[in-house]
Structure 1
Amino acid sequence: MKLIGIEEHFLTPDVAQAWHAVALEARDPSVAYHQGAIGARLADLADDRLALMDETGLDTQVLSLTTPALHDLGPTSVGLAQRINDALAEAVARHPTRFQAFATLPVSQPEAAARELERCVRELGFKGTMLCGRVGAHSLDAPFFAPIWDRAEALGAPVLIHPRTPPVAVREACYAGFNPTLDAVLATAGLGWHYEAGLQFVRLVLSGLFDRLPRLQVILGHWGELVLFYAERLAVLDRFSGLDHPVAHYLRENLYVTASGMFWPEYLARAARVVGTDRLLFSTDYPYQYRAGREARRFLETCGLEGAALAGFAHANWERLCPA
């Protein structure tokens, strides 16, 4: 059975240099994660990556620029995004059955980002885009980002909301007090990333974005970034939100969920209960969650799904969401 991973990352040297130029490593400890063996795997879009895909049993990767992408860069990110997307299109053209792509956007420039999303989808054949949460003080529900959301819905292009590091004040209040390394990991991959991404989606719901753009589709990784495990609790918001529908409606009509390499059948079962099996997508979160030994294929074979539901999780749900 064909297996497509929809959250699989890369990084280019010019993006790493742009991060360094604005001293991003001083504000975002996750920048340090993109070094050593992880950095080498992020940079490779050729034979080594393909060999590791074969080893774990993945047929196709949907490539996306790793967090924090271009969110902390200013107007210069417009040209940088175009260069990244052109290079990514070339990589897909070299391996059209093995690679697909999410657009990299100059998110701090929303009008330019909307235009670049349209170019990537219509001209380059990309499937959608990935956003990494806040830009400065703006959460993704801010009216500032309306051009991006409007264009995504018009294009039928899904938007993956990826985790990024919480603001410094949040890290100091909630994740500090142990030692610098432990504080940083707790605030990022340990927990903070996932609260941050899940909250971004909840804010989109409460802002009325999906009432205004009912065909818009968002993807959350890591089995829904904790949100699905509190679906019953989120229903409390229905009494106060003034939305057209209960929160549960948006979970089933506007949200897809992917595994991000967290291969626990219990998480899959919970996600299926909340959003339905037709909204489950596969991913390995390469290279961060990469593990050898055909583990991706093994999880597909032991996850508890069968028949159409299994095929949907492996590839068909994605192909229906993003038809060729």
Structure 2
Amino acid sequence: MSDPERIDVHQHLVPPDFSRAMAERASALGWPAPAWDVQSAIAMMDRRSIATGLLSFPAPVAAPDDPAAARDGARSVNDYTAEVVKDRPDRFGHFAVLPLPDVDAALAEAAHALDELNADGLMILSNVYGRYLGDPAFEPLWAELDARAAVVLVHPTAPPVAPVPGIPSPLVDFPYDTVRTALHLALNGVPGRYPRIRMILPHAGGFLPYAAQRFAVAARLHPDSTPEGLLGELRRFYFDTAISAGPAALPSLLAFAAPGHVLYGSDFPMLPEEWATGFDTGLDDYPHWEPGQLHAVNRGNAELLVPRLARS
């Protein structure tokens, strides 16, 4: 039976001003256009035993060559999302978007979102127009987010490679890009250098848990790293279960993730609700949960990341 108290760390919204752009992006990626409004989101949450959804906007907010539009777009998305949360703080939380690659603008927007909008964390795409997150240019941002002990959802986006014809990019390329950016972050020492940041990798980290031992070989190409050290960096990440709670994926995820680092995620409305029921059932019916572990995944681990959602 589903835990009626789930906290969904991977739930999205589509502000009205961005609905057409999101539909066009989904079509270009070979994916169904998402439809979203507050009432349908709450109805979905009630059906799926989700107490609270942490909302984020999972797409670029402007064209890559328009930094002013990116600043305005991020502010518009974040202000809109904050109003949704303000109206229903019991049902929603907020991961704010940032206008990267402009690091100064991203720092200003992070301060606005965290200090004035009371955002619960931040959402950063897995690559910024082809630049991955271990790039030294992002160092000032990581330093500031570490000082704030911020929660960061690293949401996948399309990698800078041609898609495979006939295969939707969100289905196969997004998990691939999660792995690319996670390994880039780890090889550049970002998780260890900024240990107060809690980074969430959606979709069980793509295939990172399954292939972590293989990726650890990359450390042998770096003179200051070891396979054991690289695995330790990778295990600093948190992981959500969106589109990933299958009988082959769960054993690998639970074997690799550090205790307390697995969280519930729905990916609504990017994943249509009727496509998602099997993944919820996969969590509920997994036969190897230890006592209290499923509740920790559904709620308890998220309470530690977002203490305002904790219940006595």
State the partner residue of 1:102: 95
Letter in 2 for 1:230: A
State the partner residue of 1:64: 56
Q: Which runs of 5+ in 1 are unaligned?
A: none
Would the alpha carbon gap of residues 243 and 128 (structure 1) be closer, same or farther in structure 2, given more than 3 Å must change? farther
Q: Distance in 1 between matches of 2:280 and 2:191?
A: 34
Q: Helix, strand or coil: the match of 2:210?
A: helix
State the partner residue of 1:267: 249
Q: Distance in 2 between matches of 1:296 and 1:25?
A: 25
Q: Distance in 2 between matches of 1:79 and 1:157?
A: 23
Letter in 1 for 2:47: E
Shift of 1:17: 6.0
The partner residue of 1:162 within 135, 147, 155 is 155
Listed as ranges, the matches of 1:186-205 within 5 Å are 188-205=169-186
Letter in 2 for 1:84: V
1:305 aligns with 2:289: yes
Q: Distance in 1 between matches of 2:22 and 2:271?
A: 23
Asked if 1 retains the 8 angstrom alpha-carbon contact of 2:44 and 2:273, the reply is no
Percent identity of equivalent pairs: 27
State the partner residue of 1:147: 140
Aligned CA RMSD, in angstroms, stands at: 2.6
Asked if 2 retains the 8 angstrom alpha-carbon contact of 1:82 and 1:116, the reply is yes
Listed as ranges, the matches of 1:172-251 within 5 Å are 175-176=163-164, 178=165, 182=166, 185=168, 188-241=169-222, 242-243=224-225, 246-251=229-234
Q: Which structure is higher in helix share?
A: 1
Asked if 2 retains the 8 angstrom alpha-carbon contact of 1:220 and 1:255, the reply is yes
Q: Distance in 1 between matches of 2:246 and 2:22?
A: 34
The partner residue of 1:319 within 285, 288, 303 is 303
Shift of 1:66: 2.1
Would the alpha carbon gap of residues 146 and 75 (structure 1) be closer, same or farther in structure 2, given more than 3 Å must change? farther
Q: Helix, strand or coil: the match of 1:102?
A: strand
Shift of 1:295: 5.7
Asked if 2 retains the 8 angstrom alpha-carbon contact of 1:71 and 1:107, the reply is no
Would the alpha carbon gap of residues 137 and 56 (structure 1) be closer, same or farther in structure 2, given more than 3 Å must change? closer
1:131 aligns with 2:115: no
Letter in 1 for 2:300: A
The partner residue of 1:11 within 14, 18, 21 is 14
State the partner residue of 2:47: 55
Q: Distance in 2 between matches of 1:141 and 1:300?
A: 32
Asked if 1 retains the 8 angstrom alpha-carbon contact of 2:189 and 2:233, the reply is no
Asked if 2 retains the 8 angstrom alpha-carbon contact of 1:9 and 1:285, the reply is yes
Letter in 1 for 2:273: R
Q: Which runs of 5+ in 2 are unaligned?
A: none
Asked if 1 retains the 8 angstrom alpha-carbon contact of 2:15 and 2:80, the reply is no
Residue correspondences, number:
300
The normalised TM-score by structure 1 is 0.83
Shift of 1:25: 5.3
Letter in 2 for 1:109: D
Would the alpha carbon gap of residues 139 and 5 (structure 1) be closer, same or farther in structure 2, given more than 3 Å must change? same
Q: Helix, strand or coil: the match of 1:59?
A: strand
Q: Helix, strand or coil: the match of 2:260?
A: helix
Letter in 1 for 2:294: L
Letter in 2 for 1:205: A
Would the alpha carbon gap of residues 13 and 33 (structure 1) be closer, same or farther in structure 2, given more than 3 Å must change? farther
